[in-house]
Amino acid sequence: MTHWRLHYHLIWGTFERQPLLVNEREKVFYGVLYNKAKELSLKIHAAGNMDDHVHVVLSISPKHSVADIVRHLKGASAYAINHMENCDGEFKWQTGYGALSVSERTLEKVIAYAAKQKKHHRNDATISIYERVDEK
């Protein structure tokens, strides 16, 4: 058996940062996230969101690439949201994502940050490096 400890903080947004991840869409997103994680043998440490972006802290086996994991999570969740009753089928995620490696020493801090997204944004206490999804 191979020993690994590979932790990541992933961030991605809705298309054009539209405030679309609300109510039932938010619930569907989390259902897909955790089901897909189980299917791919990922360990989700924490997840949090605002209406226009998500944060996921997870551990990924070296048999998977970060890009493939993000593709699976974004694709499956957009598909599920677009197939909800009374959905116009127009939900989509922005192109790209942010990915930060997380050390064992900072893992708990990053977990707390991701899990409390709404509180951090409400209190204007976000950490800019944890919010980035592009090189700007």
- The verdict on residue 54 lying in a domain is yes
- The verdict on residue 103 lying in a domain is yes
- The verdict on residue 89 lying in a domain is yes
Beta-carbon contacts of residue 72 (< 8 Å; ≥ 6 apart):
36, 40
Could you give the CA distance from residue 34 to residue 42 in angstroms, rounded to a whole number? 9
Q: What is the pLDDT of residues 3-28, one digit of tens each?
A: 889 999 999 999 999 999 999 999 99
Q: What is the pLDDT of residues 80-108, one digit of tens each?
A: 999 998 888 889 999 999 999 999 999 99
The whole domain housing 97 covers 7-131
